Structure formats: structure tokens, C-alpha cells
Amino acid sequence: MSRIAVIGAGAWGTALALSLARQGRHEVTLWAHSPDHAAEMERTRENTRYLPGFALQSDLHITNDLISLPGRADILLSVTPSVNLPETIRALAPHLSDRHVYVSASKGIEDGTHRRMSEVVAAASPVRFAVLGGPSFAKEVAAALPTTATLACVDAEVARSLQNDFSSESLRVYTNDDVVGVELGGALKNVIALAAGVVAGLELGSNAAAALITRGMAEITRLAVACGARPETMAGLAGYGDLVLTCTGSLSRNRTVGVELGRGRKLDDIIASLNGKVAEGVRCTGAARGLAARHGVEMPITDHMYAILYEGLSPRDAIRTLMTRPGRGE
Ligand SMILES: NC(=O)c1ccc[n+]([C@@H]2O[C@H](COP(=O)([O-])OP(=O)(O)OC[C@H]3O[C@@H](n4cnc5c(N)ncnc54)[C@H](O)[C@@H]3O)[C@@H](O)[C@H]2O)c1
Ligand SMILES: O=P(O)(O)OC[C@H](O)CO
């Protein structure tokens, strides 16, 4: 039995809490950022805002008291949008000890500083860190459909122990020690998923979709390897697996934002219609571009996605300039 606190009651935090509680062998607490949301879930035993249609188990604890979590749990599973991680870890840091493991399931890179979530956490606390990645739509995990995930930690014993805690009949967890690769795979695929959505929104066909995923994989791998990741990690579940899922699955929020951009809708209007749900790729496109510049890595799809999002480039012109770049070897 492990005591696990899930920090963030969005779709993914809720799905993970359901999956962990379903095993019947852990004590699971789900923390919601808003007191109203926590009270509403307590009353209805459902997360109607972010993951409707799934009953929260009667023994799943719900709270809005962040700093009570280190006392209630040994594993802190952090599932806030990445932009909210710094404030969250700062509040928790004084209450963490070597008893705790901090597992990040957020998929983003910090704007401005270009820090990965492990770097954000390390700057605030010496707590042990792991990252959960892989192709995993919240709704399918909540429905207990077969899913695989990657859990990376530099300490192999911690990784194995978390693998044991998270694994179930419907969730198969692989271990890895490449924290950088799993973090960057999860964050960078969101940028390419936006572009895959643009391709779909413009109705450019299957050839273009396959090209986008493949060349997207090439640039994700270039940057991740320059940052210290292993190429094999990028070819695995947290890299290629998550990229394929997010670029092709209709449940993806990032892909959906791209589809709407391709159809000609304005970014602000699309974001407003997400009703507070996060499409991490929108922020991450700038961070990925900054990280690539720092490492001198060429990221043509990411650059064009940035120009569509923030510089008024039309999706059609972006595709045209990508297609007519000087020829090069694969
Ligand atoms: N949805 C998925 O299928 C999925 C799967 C894997 C990973 N992820 C990742 O999980 C992370 C969370 O995404 P999600 O889909 O669960 O979120 P969501 O879009 O469903 O919900 C947004 C969440 O942000 C919370 N929030 C808003 N302001 C906050 C603050 N100041 N501090 C803390 N939390 C705040 C809201 O309460 C809500 O829980 C993201 O990094 C996402 O990329 C999502
Ligand atoms: O809905 P998205 O685009 O945030 O993607 C969700 C997950 O990251 C898929 O693994």
C-alpha cells in the first residue's frame, strides 16, 4: 500500500487518481486548485468540469489543502498545467523531506527560462524526482482501456517501486532512467500535434500528416538529444508513442487547437472555447523555439508553428514555405 497525493484535478490528474484508487491497494488523495471545485467533487463524486462521466470512488479523498499533502502522502504526483508548477512546488517545498518522491506528469517547458519540470522542482527542493510520460489520453485511462506509460527516474530502485505502484491490468508501466528524454518527449510532441492539427484543418491529406509526424519526430529528437536525452527514449513510448497519439487522436486538445487554426479561427477565440482546459503546446512552442536557439538546433516545424501562433503567418503560407525550403538530405 502506498499513500499517493495527486496534485491537480484536471482531466489527467483525475484519471490517474481513478486508476490508482481502482487498484484498491493505495490511499489516494486528489487535490483541486479551486475550493469550489473540490467541494463540488466532494458533493457529486464526479469531476464534471474536467472529466465528466466517471464516478470518483468513495474511498478517494478530495481536498483543496495543498500543504496538507506531504503529511498525507509519500508519493506526490504533480499534474498541474506546467505553468502552475513553480507556485505549487514553492508552496510545498518547506514540507517535503527525503521520505517523498515527486512525480511529474505535466507535459511542458517553462516559458522564458526554458526549464524542464525536473529543473523547476530541483530549484525549489532537493526532493527525489521522477517523470511519467507516454501515450495516454485521460478519458481512456479513466475508462480503464489498455494504456502504456513510461516512468523515468535516475534512481532505478525508485523507478521500479513506482512502476509497481502505478501498474494495473489496464495500465502497463515501463521504467527508464532518461528523465530528460521523457520530459522533452512529452512537451515537444504538443508543438508537433498543433501542426498536425493545422494539416488536418487545412484538409491536406494523409501524405502530409505522415510527413509532419515523421519530420516532427526528427526535430524533436535533434533537440532532445542536444539536451542530453537518449535517441532510444525518443523512439519509445514517451517520444514516438506520444507523438503518434497526439498527432492522430481526436481527443487531443493540442491537435484540436491546430485543427481550428487550420480552419481559420483566431487563437484567442480557440483558447477561450477551451474553458480553462490546457493545450500545453501553445505556450511550449515559444519555449521549444528558445531552447532550440540555445542549443543551435534547427526546428523548422516548430518555427513555423510559432509564426502561425504569434506572428500572424497564415497556415497555408506556413505549409508553402515549409515545402519549398532548400532541399536537404534526410
Ligand atoms: N488531458 C490528458 O489527457 C493529459 C494526458 C497526459 C498529460 N497531460 C498533462 O497533464 C497536465 C494537466 O493537464 P490536464 O489535462 O489534467 O488539465 P485540464 O486542462 O483538464 O485542467 C486544467 C487544470 O488546471 C488547474 N489549474 C488552474 N489554475 C491552477 C493553478 N494556479 N495551480 C494549479 N492548478 C491550476 C485546474 O484546476 C485544472 O485542474 C498538462 O501538463 C497536460 O499536458 C494531460
Ligand atoms: O490532449 P493533449 O493534446 O494535451 O494530449 C494529451 C496527452 O499528452 C496524450 O498523451
Identify which ligand lies nearest to the alpha carbon of 7: 1
Rg over alpha carbons for the chain, rounded to the nearest Å, is: 19
State whether the beta carbon of 13 lies less than 6 angstroms from ligand 1: yes
Task: State mean pLDDT over 32-46.
Answer: 98
What pLDDT shows up at residue 135?
Answer: 98
Helices (H) and strands (E) in the chain, counts: 16, 10
Task: State mean pLDDT over 198-216.
Answer: 98
What pLDDT shows up at residue 193?
Answer: 98
Average pLDDT, the chain: 98
What pLDDT shows up at residue 42?
Answer: 98
Please choose, from the candidates 156, 104, 144, 150, the residue with its C-alpha nearest in 3D space to the C-alpha of residue 127: 104
- Tell me if 180 sits within 8 A of 150, measured CB to CB: no
Q: Catalytic site residue 266? A: no
Please choose, from the candidates 167, 123, 142, 129, the residue with its C-alpha nearest in 3D space to the C-alpha of residue 46: 142
The continuous run of DSSP H or E covering 31 comes out as strand 27-31
Does 277 show up as a binding residue in the annotation? no
- Atom of ligand 2 at shortest range from CA of 278: 4
**DSSP SS3 for 330:** coil
Angle (CA) 103-104-109 rounded to 5° is 155
Pairing assessment for the beta strands 3-7 and 75-78 based on DSSP bridges: parallel
Residue 83 alpha carbon to ligand 1 centre in Å: 10
Task: State mean pLDDT over 141-164.
Answer: 98
* CA 10 – CA 18 distance, rounded (Å): 12
pLDDT digits (tens, 9 = 90+) for 298-316: 999 999 999 999 999 999 9
What pLDDT shows up at residue 25?
Answer: 97
> In the structure, which protein residues have their CB atom closer than 6 angstroms to any atom of ligand 2?
107, 135-137, 190, 193, 242, 245-246, 252-255, 280
Count of CB atoms situated within 10 Å of the CB of 10: 22
Q: What share of the chain is helix, strand, coil (3-state, %, to 5)?
A: 55, 15, 30
Query: Rounded to the nearest 5°, which phi and psi values hold at 329?
Result: -75, 155
Q: pTM of the entire structure? A: 0.98
DSSP 298-329: --HHHHHHHHHHHS---HHHHHHHHHTSPP--
Task: State mean pLDDT over 5-30.
Answer: 98
Does 306 show up as a binding residue in the annotation? no
State whether the beta carbon of 2 lies less than 6 angstroms from ligand 1: no
Residue 298 alpha carbon to ligand 1 centre in Å: 30
Residue 161: which pLDDT band, with cuts at 50, 70 and 90?
very high
Query: Rounded to the nearest 5°, which phi and psi values hold at 280?
Result: -60, -30
* CA 304 – CA 197 distance, rounded (Å): 13
Residue 261: which pLDDT band, with cuts at 50, 70 and 90?
very high
* CA 108 – CA 189 distance, rounded (Å): 10
The ipTM estimated for the assembled molecules is: 0.99
**DSSP SS3 for 8:** coil
Residue count of the chain, please give it: 330
The continuous run of DSSP H or E covering 147 comes out as strand 147-152
Pocket test for ligand 2, best of 19, 50, 80, 107 (most atoms within 8 A of CB): 107
What pLDDT shows up at residue 111?
Answer: 94
Please choose, from the candidates 248, 188, 262, the residue with its C-alpha nearest in 3D space to the C-alpha of residue 219: 188
State whether the beta carbon of 107 lies less than 6 angstroms from ligand 1: yes
Identify which ligand lies nearest to the alpha carbon of 279: 2
What pLDDT shows up at residue 109?
Answer: 98
* CA 269 – CA 258 distance, rounded (Å): 13
Residue 122: which pLDDT band, with cuts at 50, 70 and 90?
very high
**DSSP SS3 for 218:** helix
What pLDDT shows up at residue 131?
Answer: 99
pLDDT digits (tens, 9 = 90+) for 41-53: 999 999 999 999 9
Identify which ligand lies nearest to the alpha carbon of 34: 1
**pLDDT above 70 as % of the chain:** 100
Task: State mean pLDDT over 92-98.
Answer: 98
Pairing assessment for the beta strands 147-152 and 128-133 based on DSSP bridges: antiparallel
* Conformational region of residue 55, where left means phi above 0, alpha means psi within -120 to 50, and beta covers everything else: beta
What pLDDT shows up at residue 79?
Answer: 98
Task: State mean pLDDT over 5-13.
Answer: 98
What pLDDT shows up at residue 138?
Answer: 98
